[in-house]
Structure 1
Amino acid sequence: MSSRRDALATINLNISERPNAGLWLYKYMEDATDTKSRADFARQVAEIEEPSANKPDEIPVYKRFYDSWEKTLKEELNADCRKAKVQNRMVVGLGADGVLETSVALHRTYGVPYIPGSALKGLTAAFARHYCGVDWQQDSTKGYYKIVFGTNDEAGYVTFFDALYVPNSGHDKKALHFDIMTVHHESYYQGKKDDKGHHLPPADWDDPNPIPFISTTGEYLIALAAPEGCEAWLNAAHIILEEALKCEGIGAKTSSGYGRMEIIDKPAILVDEDKSFADALIEKIKSIPDSKLPGELGEYANKLINSTIKAQHKKRVAELIVTRTTKLGNKQQKRFEEKRWFAPIQIMLKS
């Protein structure tokens, strides 16, 4: 009996033309009842490469989409993007509905694998509850868990986007790979009974039941975002997710080593040069003894005035300068106010 729609019977799909793997998997299987047919079909799907360009000199269609998606995440959504590499194999969506006994999460438009944002969020939340201590419990008074992940009534601060497959990053330049699991003692685990109504025991003469499935490899773009001012929570979510991917893995068959991932492009720690400049001035000004303040404070005040650092950092230094001048008494304060640098310092306080 054919599992394929009659309307598709006359359509000849050619793997070399790189059809949509998801469309092929869900709509084009000819016979879902025969074990060998299912295995052969899974092998066919695993051979499909990611969508290519229409012309030799064009950028491949999926790469164009991926580049646009990454740009949107970074420039419009202000997301923190990091790439994670599958260490062995990964299978996300194994238990979803499909024509095979197994399934795999594939992008509906491009047929490439991806990791749903809900799966990433669920993994991060579970890891936080199990391994991050009492402060990350759902009922903790500190509320860390609710802030990051939210509740049934309120959204959390951190958004977990779908992780798309990075073009051409799979093993042997392929994202999909044929895999197989072998179930032993199928009748025993399914609770089947013999003619007398007794449960069948696991026995050495039971035939193994090989089940074909499709696993994935490659790199995936992990993207998280949070509102302005919530950078600390965003970073905490990234740290927890990184540990969860490395230690627990994502998707199915993690106990067999599937789903382990490693972040491969951790962002460099950016140094805020404006903040560093202001901090250095503050330390210098704090170290000036009161007796030497009239002669030395002007030097650092002029350095601040001539600098191009951001107004918020100028204000920090200006506040310290004014604070130090007021502690020397009214007479000395008036002398400072007569200095040419004092008026610009006061203006900085209003910025």
Structure 2
Amino acid sequence: MSETAKDVDLMRPSLQEIFSGSLKNPHAGLLLQRGLKKYDAASEKPTKSDLIKKISAIQISTDEKNLYYKAYQRWQNITSDEQRFAVTAAKIVGRLYTGLSSAGALETGLTTHHTYGMLMLAGSSVKGAVASYAEKVGLPENVRQILFGDEDNAGAVVWHDAWWIPNDNKPFVGEIITTHHQDYYNGKQEHADEMENPIPNQQIACQGSFYFVVECDNTAWANFANQLLFEMLQNQGMGSKTASGYGYFTLDESEQNRFNAQREEQAKKRAEEETAALAAMPEHERLVAEWLETLDGKKYTASDTEGSKKYVAFKSALEKAHADFDLKQQKWIAEKLAFKSVLQAKQPKWFEGKREKEIKALLAKLRGEKNNS
């Protein structure tokens, strides 16, 4: 250290007094970026050490009044539809560095949410880590293109930011990385001679669990992407210093079980609401809604047994509609179940051959056309 080096104040005295006291629900991201009161010329850097202790003392409660906890619960509710979202609760094994090179008062930083100041793993980082792992394990290029896209096309899967799971614990933790051969690494010495004094470097890392979310219109692809993500977290890790054991995850079973129970409860509630909504519909609208749900489900062929049973039921429903409903309602049903734009588009292999002619004839009758051929 140069003899002329001096401590330098980085914060106005009035703010220093505020930061010296006990902060209620502090914004950790702001502390990381602006919380250092002064630059310590001494190698021990007591001011930096105090800031790391202050940030590491932040505890996220599961009190409903806590802003981050409320935001996290809202995100969980948004992503509870298992037809679109696949989720994983993963716990850090040890410590994790994320956003180590980001600018901040501590020289090395962590990635935090801009609004809530809480730890997060950016969706772009999650996607990049999984893409790297997918290539490493030899996933075919066409599969990787669906998962991640390419220069010309977007992928089918959305990789969302991973949120830190609030559970009355402390997300931040102080770390010390000791450099033993500073002059060698800086190029001042040709060889590391074991004569240099080791230099402790105070840093901050994170601990705890994260809520990972992937989204896709196709449930099977969402689940496949989620499984690949978890394998990456276990075997490759995320963030910096994975070669030194940082950034590896395991399943957080208690949180995952809680997610699963919550999703089952919400799925049950949605099913009850949909049933109630169907029951409140006029009978001709309910007929269409129920068959559209069937058409959007499993893909049938003209030869499979289940598909044949469903076809007989569908044909009977159209015949009953012609007998039971007035002309206006019949025309409405025929429009909503148009052969080419709806039936064939949703189930291309179900209405082939003789079936095509039969269904077209029934739809023509519903439209009131005299020539049903």
How far does residue 68 in structure 1 lie from its aligned partner after superposition? 0.7
Report the AA paired with residue 77 of structure 2: K
Residues 253-298 of structure 1: CA deviation (Å, up to 9, x unaligned): 1112111112332869x9xxxxxxxxxxxxxxxxxxxxxxxxxxxx
State the alpha-carbon separation in 2 of the partners of residues 222 and 323 from structure 1. Answer: 37
Q: Is the 8 A contact 1:32 1:99 kept in 2?
A: no
How far does residue 200 in structure 1 lie from its aligned partner after superposition? 5.0
Alignment of 1:164 with 2:163, yes or no, is yes
The 1:77/1:209 distance shift into structure 2, 3 A limit, reads: farther
Q: 2:47 aligns with which of 31, 34, 37?
A: 37
- Matched with 1:179 is 175
**Gaps in structure 2 of 5+ consecutive residues:** 1-7, 265-289, 318-354, 364-373
Report the AA paired with residue 44 of structure 1: K
- Matched with 1:72 is 78
The 1:94/1:87 distance shift into structure 2, 3 A limit, reads: same
How far does residue 10 in structure 1 lie from its aligned partner after superposition? 4.6
Residues 22-79 of structure 1: CA deviation (Å, up to 9, x unaligned): 11221120123443332232122111223786xxxx5322111111111122359932
Report the AA paired with residue 185 of structure 1: H
The 1:315/1:245 distance shift into structure 2, 3 A limit, reads: closer
Q: 2:186 aligns with which of 187, 190, 208?
A: 190
How far does residue 206 in structure 1 lie from its aligned partner after superposition? 0.4
Alignment of 1:216 with 2:176, yes or no, is no
- SS of the residue aligned with 1:11? helix
How far does residue 244 in structure 1 lie from its aligned partner after superposition? 0.8
How far does residue 315 in structure 1 lie from its aligned partner after superposition? 10
Alignment of 1:27 with 2:34, yes or no, is yes
- Matched with 2:234 is 246
State the alpha-carbon separation in 2 of the partners of residues 93 and 247 from structure 1. Answer: 20
**Gaps in structure 1 of 5+ consecutive residues:** 193-198, 271-307, 326-341
How far does residue 11 in structure 1 lie from its aligned partner after superposition? 2.9
State the alpha-carbon separation in 2 of the partners of residues 115 and 16 from structure 1. Answer: 25
Residues 83-142 of structure 1: CA deviation (Å, up to 9, x unaligned): 111121111111111122211112222222111111110110000001134x1xxxx4xx
Alignment of 1:232 with 2:238, yes or no, is no
Q: Is the 8 A contact 1:106 1:114 kept in 2?
A: yes
How far does residue 239 in structure 1 lie from its aligned partner after superposition? 1.8
State the alpha-carbon separation in 2 of the partners of residues 243 and 321 from structure 1. Answer: 38
- Matched with 1:262 is 250
How far does residue 161 in structure 1 lie from its aligned partner after superposition? 0.5
Report the AA paired with residue 179 of structure 2: V
Report the AA paired with residue 67 of structure 1: Q
- SS of the residue aligned with 1:182? strand
- Matched with 1:299 is none
State the alpha-carbon separation in 1 of the partners of residues 208 and 27 from structure 2. Answer: 18
- SS of the residue aligned with 1:17? coil
- Matched with 1:205 is 195
